[in-house]
Structure 1
Amino acid sequence: MKEDFLHYIWQHHYYRKADLATTEGEPLQVMRTGYYNTDAGPDFREAIVKISDVEWSGSVEIHLRASDWRRHNHQTDLKYDQVILHVVWEADEQIVRTDGTVIPMLELKDRVDTALIYTYKQLQEARSAIPCANVWPAVPEITKTMMLGRALTERLELKGQEILHLHASYNHDWEATAYHVLCKGFGFKINQVPMERLATALPVTVIRKAQSIVQVEALLFGQAGFLTDAETDYTHQLSNEYKFLSHKYKLQGTAMQRHHWNFMRMRPANFPTVRLAQLAAVLASRQHFFTAILEAQTIKQYESLFMVPVTAFWQEHYTFSPEPAKAQSTMGKGSAHNLIINVAVPLLAAYSQFASDRAYLEKAIELLERVKEASNKITRLYEELGWKAQTAADNQAALGLYKNYCQPIQCLQCAIGNKILRQNMLTQS
């Protein structure tokens, strides 16, 4: 048993209240459980209890054993002097405040429904990837829908918070932040790390000064380390441009090397050289990318932000090899949708928090609902239970549910887990 289970029992009053009394035999009435505290100090604040004829206001501390109070050194911590009730599973010793006064204690081990304990242990000890897999079908659809919606919102808010940290590191420059997120997005799964490194090696302030797409390509490919061997007229042109620009903007010694990039086990259309050409086309097509993210309205407009035609060379090549190949003039719609999910949506979620305007978060969710996305190994776990993802919003919701609740077995914080615990308790009591 874990302490958070006792938090759950206390918060939801899932204990027998008949003849409720402290371990000293004094009648006890819980008038308010208090507010759960995630910061330092007692577990629940602003609780109200009545012991005998005296009403007390203060905090409640919860432990599996009363002796945990002493093991955690609460008897010497002034923050815990405000505790009016010590709730424990097992009262193995008496506990006191810093001044030596005894704290009233409530023991729960004989007051909790055995069905609730049994179900909790089943969830905690489940061997399946989804702890509640064997009872998932019995959970009402409305509960699952509500929890998935919550998981989606929480996932977007977490992504937004990550970008807000990045935003702070860029001195609160949204365009610079968006540039970094855009570069990372163009790395897709395999080349995210080198793309982020490139965003640092080539600041957006330099990109903004480029006079043409040729200069943008020269800066990107030069800083990425791809212009060391000039085999074509096009490569010579970029190399000469890069030498001039790197000297002008003092970029010497900051370039990456070709071995930083991954080409293995990927289709030519995903080669980093192709993605850099596509990134150059996007960057050259507009000066204010972040503004465009905020202002776009339709899925078509968001697709057009990323599906920008590349230059002539890259319409016939996948690398700098002189040998031509049949390549795409723009990235495919699937890749554009990937960038909508991993670039546009997180930026909207971040700005929603920054501006305290939920409209941008709702816009992000609407975008996800308009994008179809293939299932993955996580969503397939839920599909095996009878739930089917239809959109990118569903996929993101499933990922949020799995990573924040199912994988760490946080069933007590999950509406689905709560429903299962309550159902079993009512059924078997």
Structure 2
Amino acid sequence: MKEELLHYVWRLKRFDLSHLQTTDGQPVDILKSGELNRDGGPDFLHAQLRIGSTFWAGNVEMHLRSSDWLQHQHSGDPAYDNVILHVVLEEDVPIFRKSGERIPCLELRRRIYPEVFKTYHRMLHNEHWIACQHQFHEVEKIVKRLWLDRLMVERLEKRSVRIAECLKANRKDWEQTFYQTLAWNFGVKVNADAFEQLARAMPLKILAKHRDNLFQLEALLFGQAGMLEPDFQDEYPQKLQKEYRFLKQKYKLDPINPDQWKFLRMRPANFPTIRIAQLAMLIHQSSHLFSKVLAADNLKEIENMFELKISSYWQTHYLFDRESSPKRKSLGSSTIHSFVLNTIAPFLFLFGKERDELRFREKALTLLEETPAEENAIIHQWTELGLKAESALDSQALLQLKNNYCDKKRCLECAVGCAILKRAEEADPTQSEEPWIVYSSGRCRRRSAARSRDSMVPTSSQLEESWL
């Protein structure tokens, strides 16, 4: 048993609300449950309650047993001075303030339906791909659809945090920040950090001065990447080397460590040399990359922006001094779509948030709807469960769901998990005329209607025995 179940039933009022009263007999009216606190301090902040005839505004703390208050040493912590109600599964000892006044306590043991306990236990303690694998199909499509939309926004918000930090470091320079983030994306995971370092070491403002000269752009980028240090046999890298030495002196540049570039076990088309040549061509076409993104009306215009034909040398090379058969080395559609997912959509979302312009946030979501869904093992498994990703908006939301909720068993924070528990509550046999009893093992059986409901819900000790 975890306190999260108490958080869930309190937040959504998923327990028997009839004749609520504290353990010392005062009637309780919940006007506002409060806001779940994920940081230190009481579990719910800014709650509003009526206890007895008095209106209270303050915080609510929750525990399985009331004695946990003492174990957690809340009595000496001023952060808990404003607790107006102690919500517990079971009160084993009364809790008092420093003044000697008893803190009102609400016990939920008799108020949470046994079927909710059982369903939560089953979800928490199984080894299926997702905890609700057998109940997932029972949840209404509209619940899943709305939840996926919310998860996509959550994913964009999470990704925009890193961009916001970079933007702050760049003194609100959107173009430089976009260039840095896009460069990171050019690195294809393995070389992502190296590309980001390169973008920091080679500012866009300097590159913009040379945007009309592709040769100089390559000299600056390859030089700052530390790739123009060796003695070359080919004439082209020799010329790049000479040009870079001049520009390095002019702009007082320091190259990054070339040892961090990785080539092993990579497809030649993803070699950092090819990616740098493509980045140079992209800047050659436009040094105002983010402005072009803002002006684009749809995915097709974004794709056109990344249609690149690299310089002639790289059409017959993957590495300096090593000639290969001629091949067009353009950015594939899957690569461009990864730019949309990891750079362009999060940037548009953050830009709209910073400027308080809804149209840019909506544009980010529209781009994701136009982008095809990714194909990977996780998305395939969701399809097997009957939830097919129709676009990148769906596939990204499903990745967010699996990685941040299902894998972490955050069922009580998931709309699907909450819907399943709500169904369990509605189907609970204790709400019918013939009561049931729940044992610590999780079994249920009918019992005489003459018996009280007290024993129908397990104590925290019984729950710990069988569940922890």
Specify the TM-score bucket, using the shorter chain as the normaliser.
Answer: over 0.9
Does structure 2 conserve the Cα–Cα contact (< 8 Å) formed by 1:186 and 1:192?
yes
1:153 is the counterpart of 2:185: no
Q: 1:18 to 1:347 in 2, by over 3 A?
A: closer
Q: TM-score, normalised by structure 1?
A: 0.94
Of stretches 111-120 and 349-358 in structure 1, the one that deviates more from structure 2 is 349-358
Q: Identical aligned pairs, as a percentage? A: 39
Whichever residue aligns with residue 328 of structure 2, its letter is Q
Q: CA RMSD in A?
A: 1.9
Instruction: Give the deviation of 1:173 after TM superposition.
Output: 1.0
Supply the distance in 1 between the matched residues of 2:46 and 2:271 (Cα, whole angstroms).
58
Supply the distance in 2 between the matched residues of 1:26 and 1:147 (Cα, whole angstroms).
39
Instruction: Give the deviation of 1:40 after TM superposition.
Output: 4.4
1:242 is the counterpart of 2:244: yes
Instruction: Give the deviation of 1:79 after TM superposition.
Output: 3.7
Does structure 1 conserve the Cα–Cα contact (< 8 Å) formed by 2:269 and 2:329?
no
Counterpart in 1 of 2:389?
Answer: 389
Gaps of 5+ in 1: none
Counterpart in 2 of 1:232?
Answer: 234
Supply the distance in 2 between the matched residues of 1:49 and 1:19 (Cα, whole angstroms).
14
- Deviation string, structure 1 residues 89-121 (Cα, Å, up to 9, x no partner): 121211122322111111111221010011111
Supply the distance in 2 between the matched residues of 1:28 and 1:300 (Cα, whole angstroms).
59
Does structure 1 conserve the Cα–Cα contact (< 8 Å) formed by 2:194 and 2:261?
yes
Q: 1:296 to 1:86 in 2, by over 3 A?
A: same
Counterpart in 2 of 1:256?
Answer: 257
- Deviation string, structure 1 residues 4-42 (Cα, Å, up to 9, x no partner): 210111122222234432222333333432333445443
Counterpart in 2 of 1:60?
Answer: 60
Secondary structure at the aligned position of 1:318 is classed as: strand
Supply the distance in 1 between the matched residues of 2:294 and 2:93 (Cα, whole angstroms).
60
Instruction: Give the deviation of 1:84 after TM superposition.
Output: 2.1
Supply the distance in 1 between the matched residues of 2:264 and 2:356 (Cα, whole angstroms).
43
Secondary structure at the aligned position of 1:75 is classed as: coil
Counterpart in 1 of 2:122?
Answer: 122
- Deviation string, structure 1 residues 362-395 (Cα, Å, up to 9, x no partner): 1111111112243112212212211111221121
Secondary structure at the aligned position of 1:76 is classed as: coil
Does structure 2 conserve the Cα–Cα contact (< 8 Å) formed by 1:77 and 1:98?
no
Counterpart in 1 of 2:456?
Answer: none
Does structure 2 conserve the Cα–Cα contact (< 8 Å) formed by 1:174 and 1:290?
yes
- Deviation string, structure 1 residues 266-295 (Cα, Å, up to 9, x no partner): 221111111111011011211211111111
Does structure 2 conserve the Cα–Cα contact (< 8 Å) formed by 1:66 and 1:92?
yes
Counterpart in 1 of 2:218?
Answer: 217
- Deviation string, structure 1 residues 381-413 (Cα, Å, up to 9, x no partner): 212211111221121111111222112111111
Of stretches 330-339 and 279-288 in structure 1, the one that deviates more from structure 2 is 330-339
Does structure 1 conserve the Cα–Cα contact (< 8 Å) formed by 2:232 and 2:321?
no
Whichever residue aligns with residue 250 of structure 2, its letter is K
1:359 is the counterpart of 2:359: yes
Instruction: Give the deviation of 1:176 after TM superposition.
Output: 1.1
Secondary structure at the aligned position of 1:208 is classed as: helix
Counterpart in 2 of 1:83?
Answer: 83
Whichever residue aligns with residue 212 of structure 1, its letter is N
Counterpart in 1 of 2:290?
Answer: 290
Q: 1:24 to 1:322 in 2, by over 3 A?
A: closer
The total of aligned residue pairs comes to 427
Of stretches 330-339 and 388-397 in structure 1, the one that deviates more from structure 2 is 330-339
